[in-house]
Amino acid sequence: MSEHTITVAGVAIDTRHWIGGERVASTQTFPDVSPIDGSTIGDICRGTAMEAAAAVAAAKAAFPAWAATPRAERARILHAIADGVEKRIEELAIVETTDNGALLRSHRRGVMPRVAHNFRFFADWLLSLEHEDFETRGHTNHVSWDPAGPCVLITPWNAPLMLATWKVAPALAAGDTVVLKPAEWSPLTASLLADIAAEAGLPAGVLNVVQGYGSEIGDALTSHPDVRRISFTGSVPTAKRIAESAAANLTPLSLELGGKSPLLVFADADLDLAVDLAVEQYDNAGQVCLAGTRLLVEEAVAEEFTRRFVQKASTLKQGDPRDEAIDIGPNIHPRQLEKIDGFVQRAVAAGARAVIGGQRGDGQYYAPTLLTDVAQDSEIVQEEVFGPVLTLQTFTDEEEAVRLANGTRFGLAATVFTGDPDRAERVTARLVAGTVWVNCFFVRDLQAPFGGSRLSGVGREGGTWSFDFYCDVKNTVTAPSGWRNHG
């Protein structure tokens, strides 16, 4: 076995970068630590500006041939990648659970199947991508989507492979080449994806994977003049640095950032449904950008809602995410745990009451927490915690509900529970959010636009919106008949 190979539950993983169809080592490494028990999984090659330049050069060299590859062939290869993912779902699931602490059962049943679906969906959408020709004073307008060039895709640690392939799949389908930079806290499944893509016949240089710290390799990637698209999912401060870096080259950006999403419960709602889905906001230890972390409940039912919520939340089991009986695993990193606890302790010191939770468990586990008696302008209501921490506020009417819901700098998602369809229509029309769910949560279709408003992001991806971003959209206008043969 190579010195650059580590094993997780019997799965061999190469810790080197994947550049131009070859494994490339670095002189330095960084430790990859499992949040489950704090053990070091292995040392990962730590990229610098040198690896960034090599990866972009490989993507640039591979671009002309991949861009010229017929749509049907690109789609065939993407389906082959999906086949490879499906053959290795169990391996991918256990590796990612070990790496980021999310539930193994979720990876097996939902997350990894979605990874394969990402490739299949965008392969099929590519084959149907078209805009009907239209006439202007007898001239024909024809809209086409031309591949843009090398793309840098920077992905987060909370759903590493699923969110990476949400970007990789449409970029490859569009005819672009890719440099993928996974989060340093969860890099392993990106390395496995490189293997799967190569086995599926993806040409060398079309997908490159580089690992490392954002300050050392990320800046070199986002400021590179040969990069034609940057897509990033992560925090607002990092997005601002990326935007500054990309500005010198006017590189187009797609940014999916933080959330502080409201979950509104009106008195006429199905309270059992509302409670069940409110408790679901603790999924993935609260490390979900779309989570409805601000519970806004009409005063008339607030006491009953809270009673049922506490009863339901008390049944959650927290522990080793590899155990099928566990509902909540650990938080990703000691630094993230410190951040979560800091938010909670400052809120309590300011007068908030912890109805449940409010403290750490052993290791990197934080108890599911619900805070009441919080002010709208307080830090705990205004800032993203990204942990298993919810707040509960009450409202008296629709006007106050909408005011509270829209009362942050974010606008990623919102959830509304009501038994009145007219109210649902009125309220959702006024909510500032990229996605609104009514009497449901986390129903996602890849053909729908996805993104945020305000500080929750820039741009939309999904379906044709993804191709609009990853391509240069061209309109060709042709004059009416009158062609002449000059031969």
* Residue 256 a catalytic site member: yes
What pLDDT, on a 0 to 100 scale, did the predictor assign at position 2?
Answer: 75
Q: What angle do CA 322, 325, 328 make, to 5 degrees?
A: 70
Q: Which CATH architecture has domain 262-438?
A: 3-Layer(aba) Sandwich (3.40)
- Which of 256, 298, 384, 461 is flagged as catalytic? 256
Q: Give the number of other Cβ atoms within 10 Å of residue 153's Cβ.
A: 28
Rg (CA), the chain: 24
Q: Are 38 and 120 in contact (CB under 8 A)?
A: no
For residues 327 and 318, give the distance between their C-alpha atoms in angstroms, rounded to a whole number.
6
Match 């991806």 to its residue by tokens: 461
What pLDDT, on a 0 to 100 scale, did the predictor assign at position 119?
Answer: 98
What proportion of the chain, given as a percentage, has pLDDT over 90? 97
In the chain, CATH 3.40.605.10 covers 5-257+452-475
- CA-CA distances (angstroms) from residue 235 to 142, 172, 410? 39, 25, 12
In the chain, CATH 3.40.309.10 covers 262-438
Q: Which amino acid is at 70?
A: P
What pLDDT, on a 0 to 100 scale, did the predictor assign at position 433?
Answer: 97
Indicate whether 487 pLDDT > 60: no
Mean of all residue pLDDT scores within the chain: 96
What pLDDT, on a 0 to 100 scale, did the predictor assign at position 1?
Answer: 61
For 445-473, what is the mean pLDDT?
96
User: Whole-model pTM above 0.85?
Assistant: yes
User: What is the bridge-based pairing of β-strands 229-233 and 207-209?
Assistant: unpaired
- Which of 45, 289, 461, 471 is flagged as catalytic? 289
Q: What is the CATH number of domain 5-257+452-475?
A: 3.40.605.10
